[in-house]
Chain A
Amino acid sequence: MNYEYYRELSVSNDFEVYDFVSSGFRGEIVKRVRFDCVDEHHTYNLAFGDLIDDGEIDDYSISDNKDMTKILATLATIVRIFLDKYPERHVVFRGSTKERTRLYRMAIGNNLDELQYSFVIYGLGYDEGAQIFTRNKEYFAFLVRKKL
């Protein structure tokens, strides 16, 4: 993917928390990505949003910083780094709202061919469970693992 992304990333010692600065229309906003273990099968939930007090994440904020594509490309890069560090892990994520989940779905769909070169991407459905991601299909969440 040849999208511009935020290249300066701060990362915690365990490579599970990443911070970067969104710079745009409304100024500079510190963003945080965090991976939390969900189950014993190496699945980690991705949380993303504005960094607020005490290291917490506001995933409902609307920054309107006019850099959405750059943000999404940065998220993709962070997932790549996380799975490079921990290739046995899976990353599961969804938007904090239906609209954001749809945005993620569209971003994956628009770049599916290239993403599938390095990753296996599943769409999670309430009835179907985990299926290989297919464009233009509704999912409540997505799961990514590195191709080994």
Chain B
Amino acid sequence: MLTNEKTLAQISKNFPDVKLKIVSNVDKGIGNPKKVADMKKLLEKINISLPEK
């Protein structure tokens, strides 16, 4: 079984009410590099270190 099919089967099991469809040729665009960079800067600025799990 392909990796995605395995994932889909697992997710369908964990989320039985969700109808999930994998679209292989989705146009993902380029996103918003500026906003991602801004978030990266913010995380660096606060020197994020997560409390213990």
Contacts and interface: CB of A to CB of B under 8 A. Distances in A.
B28 A141 contact: no
Interface stretch (A12-20, A63-71, A98-106, A108-116): A12-20
Interface string B1-43: 0001001001100110111111110111111100110011011
Contacts of A143: 48, 50
A58 to B, nearest CB: 10
Contacts, number: 112
A140 B28 contact: no
Contact of A36 (B11, B36, B50): B36
Contact of A55 (B24, B28, B36): B28
B31 A36 contact: yes
Interface of B: 4, 7, 10-11, 14-15, 17-24, 26-32, 35-36, 39-40, 42-43, 45-51, 53
A80 B53 CA distance: 18
Nearest to B14: A84
